[in-house]
Chains A and B, each alone.
Chain A
């Protein structure tokens, strides 16, 4: 089994697992984690592409690396935004349910305005 094939299969497995996770789980946090799994699979696929580009005689195609780095930044930003939303939602729900969550303490510090 060649390297690219192995990587490709691994990427496919990650993407499949991730998509299943996104669809099957109801909790937003799990969905976001599953999204990151799919993302990892796709980045791996970029790696495979770079490796195959090396067949042209180069040691390795640099462009996919740049793409993957950018992609990781984007995925990170997306995850951060999702986490902020999830956290804020949890705080609001806890406040509504009357059980102040740890760290939220609405009585002590008024809830910050969200953007």
Chain B
């Protein structure tokens, strides 16, 4: 490849900004602390404002030009330099992350408002700093083109996510965080092993170059299997989900929302990149079916387990494991002879499932946090009265539940419809059945909560008030999930921007 063939596109610097702005915000927090300006939350909000603008600009450029945005760091192109690249899919992921982070921050503001010297101040400082670090890592994972660079992004993501889990410092959450960290590290090291093998084989780690160079042989397949396996552990695909329920249920509500909505999506996104952009050879039906079967097992087993949980947050965490299963159905549903994967409805359905789950799950965790705060506990059997105490939160919970169940109008419904159609078209009946049964089970666990929560409050119940702004943040996320239900029922071009060049040989 000629040196300047992959020259940065105009506006490519925006990608660097998307990664750097949150880091700058994070680093500014202790610096400002030294200058005795102790307002981590205000700094975080300023950072978020700038970051959202940057992500908006990235989206505007990508949609406006209809091409991927590319940036070679330091003016060097691969294989010598590192590239950042945002195609339509990356832009959508970044927009999703920005939206969730911004609304979660609005929600968290009253909860983590303490100045650093005040009681709880260290916790508040930690939350905002970690949130910014996490955002930066997410953006890097979405735009990175270099497999090692992506490794670093994933590690940063883990290092930001693990302390968020044990923000309250109890033994139980520390244990959950430790379990999460060590299992994620095992996943990382497998991924890194795959990277080492690929580098030894091809001498480059740039996804675009690997796409041209890679050919199907033992080393390549072994490397990709190692990488995907490691990423699955980080994405908590059943049966590798041991760390997720305690970690996501133990974290404070806004942290849970970010973890469940965004953090598990980054490794999945990288699996998608590996599968569709790096993996050489034909469609790999057998392996795709194996992934889909694991996804199906996740949906069925974890939905039933979610139904049997006694605690609201644990139920939502199990629901996340089940919903991650839907994503892995995609690999089988994008196989259509003669059609590139991103022109299939399975691709659109899978990606829509990813985004709508992110929004709905974030809304659900936020709402559950408010319900728990209002009642003082989150035992599902004793939720009676929540409807009176925090009606807006419960409404948000219900709307988010609508999307998880796949009922109209919601993004989850359209995603389910597209995945069902794709399963039908490809003759994979068992997937269609699993999707339907999964929807029924989701309906069961969501309505179980709603029913209890809408019951009249028992005598003498004491509820504490919650800030209206927090309820509205949860509601806004839920409404976004519902609004996704207005997208048309067909493959849309946005998700295919910048992909035609990469993969069609």
Q: Which residues of A does B touch, CB under 8 Å? A: 15, 18-19, 22, 28, 31-32, 35, 38-39, 42, 45-46, 48-49, 52-53, 61, 63-64, 67, 70-71, 74, 77-78, 81-82, 85-86, 88-89, 92-93, 96, 111-115
**CB-based contact B189/A35 at 8 Å:** yes
CB A50 to nearest CB in B, in angstroms, measures 9
- 24 A-B Cβ contacts within 8 A? A22-B186, A28-B178, A32-B182, A35-B186, A38-B193, A46-B196, A46-B199, A53-B200, A64-B196, A67-B199, A70-B152, A74-B152, A78-B155, A82-B181, A82-B182, A82-B185, A85-B162, A88-B169, A88-B174, A92-B171, A93-B171, A114-B166, A114-B167, A115-B126
B418 beta carbon closer than 8 Å to chain A: no
- Whole-angstrom distance between the Cβ of B67 and the nearest chain A Cβ: 29
Measured CB to CB, the closest approach of chain B to A8, in angstroms, equals 9
Are A86 and B185 within 8 A (Cβ)? no
In the bound assembly, the distance between CA atoms of A65 and B199 in angstroms comes to 12
Given the complex, which residues of B lie within 8 Å of A81, measured CB to CB?
A: 159, 162-163, 181
**CB-CB under 8 A for A92 and B174, given A35-B182, A45-B200, A85-B166:** yes
A71 touches B192 (CB 8 A): yes
User: Sorted from nearest, which 4 A-B pairs have the closest CB atoms?
Assistant: A49-B200, A115-B126, A114-B169, A45-B196
Interface residues on B, range: 35 or more
Which residue of the partner chain A has the closest CB to B174? A89
Q: Is B203's CB within 8 Å of the partner chain A?
A: yes
Q: Who on chain B is nearest to A114 by CB?
A: B169
Looking at chain B's contact residues, the main secondary structure is helix
**Residue in B closest to A86 when the chains form the complex, CB atoms:** B178
Whether B199 pairs with A64 at a CB distance below 8 angstroms is yes
A19 to B229, CA, bound (A): 14
Most buried by A among B120, B126, B130, B169: B169
Taking CB atoms, residues of chain A closer than 8 Å to B170 are: 92
Q: Verify B182–A113 contact, CB threshold 8 A.
A: no
Asked if B76 is at the interface of the complex by the 8 Å CB criterion, the answer is no
Tell me the bound Cα distance from A87 to B19 in angstroms. 32
Residue of A nearest to B171 (CB): A92
**Neighbouring B residues of A35 by C-beta, 8 Å:** 182, 185-186, 189
CA distance A45 to B197 in the complex (A): 8
The residue of chain A having its C-beta at the shortest distance from the C-beta of B121 within the complex is A113
B148 at the interface (CB under 8 A from A): yes
Please state if A39 and B189 are interface contacts (CB–CB under 8 Å). Answer: yes
CB-CB under 8 A from B188, the residues of chain A are 78
Known: A19-B186, A35-B182, A115-B130. 19 other contacts (CB 8 A): A35-B185, A45-B196, A53-B203, A63-B199, A64-B196, A74-B151, A77-B159, A81-B159, A81-B162, A82-B178, A88-B169, A89-B174, A89-B175, A89-B178, A93-B171, A112-B122, A115-B123, A115-B125, A115-B163
